[in-house]
Structure 1
Amino acid sequence: MNAMRDPAGIPAPPFVFQALMVITWAFHIAFVHLSMGAAGLAIYAFHSRSRGAHWTRLSMAMTKVAKVGVSLLIVLGVAPLLFTQVIYDPQWYTSNVLSGRWALAFIFTLLVAYCSWYVFYASNHEHAKRRAGCYAWIALLLFCVDGLIMHALSYQALLPEKWMNWYAPGGVVDTRGAALHAIEWARYVLIMGLSVPAIGVFLIAYAHYFSVRGDRDVRYLAFARELGRQIAQWGFLFSIVPMLAWQFDLPPASGLELLPLGWSIVGALAIMGAWMRLPGSSVQGYLPMTANFGIVSLLAVWREVIRMRYLKPLGYDIHSYTVHPDAPSMLLFFLTLAGIGGVVGGLYLTLLYRSGRVAGRYTAEPLVRYLARGALSVLGVWITAFLAYGVVISLRDSFN
C-alpha cells in the first residue's frame, strides 16, 4: 500500500486533509439522510392522501425537499471523495478496481434514480394518479442501491489483507470487477437508517421556519411538527440497535469496541430519543436538527478512527505520507474556501433563509445588501488572483 502512494507526496501535513475529509463527509451524509428521509416520507404521504389534505401537502413539500437534497448531496459528496483520494488513494482506487462494474453502475443508477424522482415531482399534485408513485419507488430503491455500492467500496478499502483473494480467487485472476466483495450490514443499516430521525427533526425545523408567515396554515404546521417529533423519537431509538450491532461487529483485536467515542454515539441516540418523547412544546425550533448534526459529526469522526485502526496494523499510517510543502497552493485553497465558500455561500444561504420567511415580494435587508457587495468583490478578486497565479506559473515554466 505504501508503494502505491503518489510519489509526488502531498502539499500539506496529512492531518489537514484528514480533518477536511471528516468535516465535508459530515455535511455530505447529512444531506443523504435528509434526501432519503424526505423521499420515504413523500412516498408514504402520497399513499396516505385519503387521510386528509395535510398529507397531500406534506407529500408535495417533501418531494421538493428530496429533489433539492439529492442535488446537494451529490455536490457535497465531491469534497470528501477528493480528500479521501489524497491520503487513502491506494485503498480507494484498489476497492474501485475490484468492483469496477459496480463503481460505474453507481453513476448510471443515480442518473436513473434522479430522473425517476423528477418524473414523480412533476406528477405529484393534488389530483395525481396513484401510479405516479411507481416512479418514486423506483428512485428510492435505486438510491438505496447506490448507498450500498458506496458502503461496499468504502468497507472493501479497509480490508487489504483480502484483496488478493478477491482479485485472484483460487489463483485465477478475475478482472471483471463484477462483485461487491464485502458488506457490513449493521454499518449500512445504521447510516441509511439515520434518515428516519433526520427527516423528523427537519419537520420540526420546517414548522418553526414557516411559523412567522401569515399565509401558512397553522394547523398544517402543527401537524408537521408533531409528526416530526414522533418520527424522530422512534427513529433515534431504533437507530441504537444497528449502532450496537456495528459496535460488536468490530474486530476484537482492534480495541475499537472499548473506545468511548463509539459508545458516546449510542448514548447520544438514546438522549435524543428521550428528548423527542417530551411534550411538543419542549421540542421545537432548530435545536433538534443542530443536535442531530452533532451526532452525524461524531459518526464522521468515528469512521475515521475505525479506518486508522484497521489499516495501521497492516503498516499503513497516513501521518507517514511524504510531505512537500506548497504554501501558495494551500493559501489559495483556504482563501477560496473562506472567500467563495464563506462570503458567497453565506450570501446565498442568508438570502434564501430571509426571503423564504416572507410572504410575497422580499426586500433585502442591509445585511444581505452588504453580503451581496462583498460577494461580488470576493469573486472579482478570486478570478483575478486565480488567473494571475496561472499566468505567473506558466511564464516561469516557459523561461525555465
Structure 2
Amino acid sequence: MSLLYLPNVDPIPLPAPVWLFKVLHIATLMLHFVAVQLILGGLTLATVWNLFGKSGSPMAGASDSVVKKLPTVMTYVINFGVPPLLFSQVLYGQTLYTSSVVIGFYWILVIFLLIAGYYLLYRAGDRADAGRSWWWMGLVSLVLLAYVARIYATNMTLMLHPERWLALYVESGGFGGVMPKVDPTTLPRFLFMTVGALGFGGIAAALLGQYFTHTDDVKRFLTRTGSLLGAVFLAVQMLCGYWVYAAQPAVVKEGFWNSPIGYYGAILWAVFSVAALASIAAGGLIKGSLSRLLVSVAGLAAVLMTAGAVLARDAIRDLSLLAVGFDVWNRTVVANWSVVGIFLVLFVAALVLIAVLLVAVNRSMKEVKNQNA
C-alpha cells in the first residue's frame, strides 16, 4: 500500500492573493507554450524539408528560411519559460519541488539538453546561410528538445501523484535517476503538445510566407504547404485533446465541467481550434490579400486556442491535487500591494520591451537581407 507524503506548507505567507498568482501563471505559461509549439513544430517541418528538398528548390529555400528564425524563437522559449515555472513553484511548491527531486537527475539534465539543442540551432542556421545541408543537426536538436518536453510532461504528471514519490526515490537510491512508469495521462498530454506543435508550425510557416520577403516559389510553398499541414495537425490535435480528457481519473472528469476554469477553458480551446483550422485551410486555398488575412486570423486563433488549453490544464491539475488532499486555494496570504504594484509595472514593461525587440529584429533581418540581395 502506498503512503501519501505531502510536505508541510511553507510557513511564509504568500505576498499576493492566489488568484493573482494564478492569472500571472496562466498568462506567462500561454506565452511559453506558444513559443514551445513554434520551436518544435517549426524545427520538425524545416528539418524534413531540408532532408528531402533538392538544392535550389522551394522546399529547400523554405527550410532555410524557417531554421534561421528558430534561434530567436528559442530565446523566447527559455525566457517565457522561467516566469510560469517560478509562479508554479510558489503555488504548488509542496508537490512540484518534491517530484523534481524524485527525478532530479533528469530535471538537472534539462539544462544541458537545452544548451546542446540551442547550439545546434545556431549551427544549422549558419549552414543554411552558407547554402549547405543541415538536416542532421536539426534532427539531433529536435530529439534533444523533444526529450526536454518529455521530461517536463513526466514531472508535471508526477507532481500530481504523491503516492508514487517514496517508491521512486528509494528505487533510485536518492539519485533521482529512475523515471516513473508510464502514467495513462502522460502520453496523451505529450502528444497533445507535440501534434499541436506541428499544426502551430504549419500556421507559422504560412505566416512566414505571407509577411517575409521570399521568391514567389518559396512564398507559395510556405503558404500552401504550411496551411495544409496546419489544418491536418490541428484536426489531429483536437482528437488528442479529447484523449487527454478521457484519460483522466473519474474524480477529475466529474469535477472538470463544474470548474469555471475548466469549463470555459475547454470551450475557448474548442471554439478557437475550429476557427484556426477553418481559417488556415481556407488561407491555403485562396490567393491574394484575403489569403494573408485568413492566415493572420488563424495565427491569432491558434494563440487563443492555446490560452484555452492552458486554462483547461490548470483545472485538471487543481482537481487532481485536490483528490490527494492538496488545495491550492487554501493558503495564508499577507498581501504586500506596494511590492505587487511595482512587480506588475515591471512585468508589463518587460512585455512591451519584448514586443519592441521582436519588431526591431524583424526590421533588421529585412535590412540585412536587402543589403545582401
Question: TM-score with structure 1 length normalisation?
Answer: 0.80
The answer to whether structure 1 residue 269 and structure 2 residue 249 are counterparts is no
The answer to whether structure 1 residue 312 and structure 2 residue 316 are counterparts is no
Partner of 2:228: 230
What is the one-letter code of the residue matched to 1:221? Answer: K
The answer to whether structure 1 residue 176 and structure 2 residue 178 are counterparts is no
1:114-148 Cα distance to aligned partner (Å, 9 max, x none): 2222222222346425xx43222111111111100
Q: CA deviation at 1:110?
A: 1.6
5+ residue gaps, structure 2: none
SS of 1:88's partner is helix
Partner of 2:357: 348
What is the one-letter code of the residue matched to 1:235? Answer: F
Partner of 2:292: 284
The answer to whether structure 1 residue 199 and structure 2 residue 201 are counterparts is yes
**In 2, distance between residues paired with 1:360 and 1:137?**
30
1:127-178 Cα distance to aligned partner (Å, 9 max, x none): 425xx43222111111111100011111111112322333346xxx831211
**In 2, distance between residues paired with 1:166 and 1:175?**
9
What is the one-letter code of the residue matched to 1:317? Answer: D
**In 1, distance between residues paired with 2:119 and 2:361?**
25
What is the one-letter code of the residue matched to 2:63? Answer: S
Partner of 1:397: none
What is the one-letter code of the residue matched to 1:176? Answer: F
The answer to whether structure 1 residue 301 and structure 2 residue 311 are counterparts is yes
Q: CA deviation at 1:267?
A: 5.4
2:90 to 86, 89, 94: 86
1:112 to 116, 128, 131: 116
Q: CA deviation at 1:204?
A: 2.3
Question: TM-score with structure 2 length normalisation?
Answer: 0.86
1:245-271 Cα distance to aligned partner (Å, 9 max, x none): 111101112215656443663554345
SS of 1:253's partner is helix
* Rg larger in structure: 1
**In 2, distance between residues paired with 1:266 and 1:4?**
38
Tell whether the 8 Å contact from 1:229 to 1:280 is kept in structure 2 after alignment.
no
Fraction of identical pairs, as percent: 19
Tell whether the 8 Å contact from 2:202 to 2:228 is kept in structure 1 after alignment.
yes
What is the one-letter code of the residue matched to 2:292? Answer: Q
1:46 to 44, 50, 66: 50
**In 1, distance between residues paired with 2:179 and 2:145?**
17
Tell whether the 8 Å contact from 2:26 to 2:310 is kept in structure 1 after alignment.
yes
**In 2, distance between residues paired with 1:257 and 1:10?**
26
**In 2, distance between residues paired with 1:207 and 1:119?**
23
Root-mean-square deviation (Å): 2.5
What is the one-letter code of the residue matched to 1:77? Answer: G
5+ residue gaps, structure 1: 362-400
Partner of 1:74: 78
Q: How many residues align?
A: 351
Partner of 2:168: 166
The answer to whether structure 1 residue 333 and structure 2 residue 339 are counterparts is no
Q: CA deviation at 1:44?
A: 1.3
Tell whether the 8 Å contact from 2:269 to 2:304 is kept in structure 1 after alignment.
no
* Residues 1:271 and 1:349: Cα distance change in structure 2 (over 3 Å): closer
Tell whether the 8 Å contact from 1:36 to 1:66 is kept in structure 2 after alignment.
no
Q: What pairs with 1:100-179 in structure 2 (closer than 5 Å)?
A: 100-125=104-129, 127-129=131-133, 132-168=134-170, 174-179=173-178
Q: CA deviation at 1:201?
A: 1.2
1:220 to 211, 218, 221: 218
SS of 1:10's partner is coil
What is the one-letter code of the residue matched to 2:160? Answer: L
Tell whether the 8 Å contact from 1:247 to 1:257 is kept in structure 2 after alignment.
no
What is the one-letter code of the residue matched to 2:314? Answer: E
SS of 1:174's partner is coil
